[in-house]
Chains A and B, each alone.
Chain A
């Protein structure tokens, strides 16, 4: 895990656990507000795609885990893909990075253990969401009268739950890591 976040050229110290926890709270608060707001916009018909895209961007710039950006090292442990494009194009697009060091993307044995534990914990949460989905679809198909009290169409509830599950699946392992890792010590 990286100890600092670079946001628009500014370095933010993320070594203290409190800073990382604040970031996790902020991210989930933003995603919740987005999800509720976008429901009122168009019932996630089109904005559902934007929500998943926003989650990808949050991973890219804040959380990491899936690519070379954010606080958590890539889960795959593989080096970032090298572009074959000529350097002037990369410079024009401002996506040229210095070659990252080996330690920047490769996790050691303790970090791999933490990564696996975080995925296990996230999986447990997802199983609960899946069980809820099964229950909802089951009632919706075989006993629709049980869902008559819902203020909206049961299909929409299922759709919203699937959307929430995707957002949680994409972010929860990284958030568990950021939440549980204690204060990071200074390099010495």
Chain B
């Protein structure tokens, strides 16, 4: 029901990129839940940041996505992937009304 992307760290105090990584790979919550041997509801809680996973689950997610754990979970908000790949050029050249992630105070 609540499929909105993570806006804050949620109850866990952790930011994560699970929803983005899952969407990139075209994987459903159920597929990911089956691979991690958890309930699909738990994937929803993880994505919203409402549940802090065990180290075992965090490492399993890292192995599944082929990424280090710190690329999936962070205590600080993540920089958008497009910004990381293309730098600020992507943001400066994009139409202003389409930019959601840009800091309004940034020049």
* B94 to A: closest C-beta gap in Å: 30
Of residues 27 to 49 in B, which have CB atoms within 8 Å of A's CB atoms?
A: 28-30, 37-42, 44-45
Of residues 67 to 107 in A, which have CB atoms within 8 Å of B's CB atoms?
A: 103, 107
Contact between chains at B57 and A186 (CB < 8 Å): no
With contacts A109-B53, A109-B54, A109-B57 known, is A187 near B30, CB below 8 A?
A: yes
A161 to B42, CA, bound (A): 38
Contacts of B37 in A (CB 8 A): 108
Contact between chains at B29 and A111 (CB < 8 Å): no
Contacts of A186 in B (CB 8 A): 1
* Candidates B2, B40, B53, B57; contact of A187 at CB < 8 Å: B40
Contacts of A1 in B (CB 8 A): 41
Least CB separation from B51: chain A residue: A110
Contact between chains at A185 and B39 (CB < 8 Å): no
* Candidates A107, A109, A183, A188; contact of B40 at CB < 8 Å: A188
Q: How many A residues are at the interface, by size bracket?
A: 10 to 19
Contact between chains at A185 and B41 (CB < 8 Å): yes
* B11 to A: closest C-beta gap in Å: 11
* A177 to B: closest C-beta gap in Å: 12
Contact between chains at A109 and B1 (CB < 8 Å): no
Contact between chains at B44 and A109 (CB < 8 Å): no
**Contact count A vs B, C-beta below 8 Å:** 40
Contacts of A103 in B (CB 8 A): 39
Contact between chains at B1 and A185 (CB < 8 Å): yes
* A111 to B: closest C-beta gap in Å: 6
Least CB separation from B30: chain A residue: A187
With contacts A109-B53, A183-B1 known, is A188 near B39, CB below 8 A?
A: no
Q: Indicate if A127 sits at the interface (CB-CB under 8 A).
A: no
With contacts A183-B1, A185-B1, A186-B1 known, is A108 near B29, CB below 8 A?
A: no
Contact between chains at A184 and B41 (CB < 8 Å): yes
A1 to B3, CA, bound (A): 20
A45 to B34, CA, bound (A): 51
* A28 to B: closest C-beta gap in Å: 25
Contacts of B29 in A (CB 8 A): 185, 187-188
With contacts A109-B53, A110-B51 known, is A188 near B41, CB below 8 A?
A: no
* B103 to A: closest C-beta gap in Å: 31
Contact between chains at B1 and A111 (CB < 8 Å): no
Residue of B1, B29, B45, B51 ringed by the most chain A CB atoms within 10 A: B1
Of residues 133 to 188 in A, which have CB atoms within 8 Å of B's CB atoms?
A: 183-188
A43 to B57, CA, bound (A): 53
Which residues on B are within 8 Å of A, measured CB to CB?
A: 1-3, 28-30, 37-42, 44-45, 51, 53-54, 56-57
26 cross-chain CB contacts under 8 A = A1-B41, A103-B39, A107-B39, A108-B38, A108-B39, A108-B42, A109-B53, A109-B54, A109-B56, A109-B57, A110-B39, A110-B42, A110-B45, A111-B39, A183-B1, A184-B1, A184-B41, A185-B1, A185-B29, A185-B41, A185-B44, A186-B1, A187-B30, A187-B40, A188-B29, A188-B40
